[in-house]
Structure 1
Amino acid sequence: MAILFSSVLLILSVSLVISAPPNSLTGLVPSINDNGVLLVPSDNSYYLRIDVDGTGREETVEQIAPEQLQVKGSYGQPFPGSKYLLVTYEAGPNGYVAKYSLSEIHNQVQQLPPAALKTAAG
């Protein structure tokens, strides 16, 4: 669901950006800060962050010339078996480049001695 929402939001935002006159994105891209979604427009760019259920996406889109966008971002998602996928990407006039890494998630539980817990409790 979060992936579908972020994809739809991205497509709508990019279509608005492409149809906009230079330096006028603030009125076309809405500001959003709700339920793990943050969208912050400025004159010629916007910043998007989506954090839902351990899955996250962060992206900056900038209009570098009329009808030319520069996109930089990352997408991360946990998988069963303590795996985490991180994709970083960049797209612009020179094409699209994506890199990915799959890593282990290490859950480290720090244990405190009983005396420290008693002291912290007062």
Structure 2
Amino acid sequence: MAGILFSSVILTLSLSVVTSAPALVPSLNDNGVILVPTDNGYYLRIDIGGTGREETVEKIAPEKLQVRGSYGQPFPGSQYLLVTYEAGPNGYVAKYSLSEIQTPVQHLPPSVLKTAAG
């Protein structure tokens, strides 16, 4: 839940900067947060503790923004929540999926197997 709150705060601050300042946002690359200004918006990526968010924001007209992105977070029981969203003049649409986290299968080299067999 803290990840959602953190991401919401970042989004709110970023949107206020985009709508109120001619120099949209500053560049930032620090502790898992990347913020890159573009000609008419910005790109944001946050990777903290297994939780990730990635989005682009474009100013499509005066006082109108188009936001597209995704948010992913691990859940207890080896599950992963992925939310994709889009917000703009036509409203807000979010889709989500909950999937099992695949743990990679580790294969032992033949020499270890031979040693274990005797």
Q: TM-score scaled to structure 1, two decimals?
A: 0.83
Q: Which runs of 5+ in 2 are unaligned?
A: 113-118
> Could you report, residue by residue, the CA deviation over 1:12-42 in whole angstroms, capped at 9, with x for unpaired residues?
110121223xxx4xx3411110100000012
Aligned to 1:79: 75
What residue number does 1:18 align with? 19
Q: Of the candidates 7, 12, 32, which is equivalent to residue 28 of structure 2?
A: 32
Q: Aligned-pair RMSD on alpha carbons?
A: 1.6
User: Does the CA-based 8 Å contact 2:47-2:53 persist in structure 1?
Assistant: yes
Query: Quick check: 1:42 aligned with 2:27?
Result: no
| Helix, strand or coil at the partner of 2:77 | coil
In the alignment, which residue of structure 2 is the partner of 1:55?
Answer: 51
User: Partner letter of residue 15 of structure 1?
Assistant: S
CA distance in structure 2 between the partners assigned to 1:92 and 1:31 by the alignment: 24
- After TM superposition, the runs of 4+ consecutive aligned structure 1 residues lying more than 4 A away are none
Match of 1:7 in 2: 8
- Aligned match of 2:101 in 101, 105, 115? 105
Question: Distance between the aligned counterparts of 1:65 and 1:104, measured in 2?
Answer: 40
Give the 3-state SS of the residue equivalent to 2:26 in structure 1. Answer: coil
Cα offset for 1:115? 4.1
1:10 offset after TM fit, Å?
Answer: 1.2
Q: Distance in 1 between matches of 2:6 and 2:78?
A: 25
1: CA distance, partners of 2:86 / 2:54: 12
Shift of 1:45: 1.1
Question: Unpaired runs of 5+ in structure 1?
Answer: 117-122
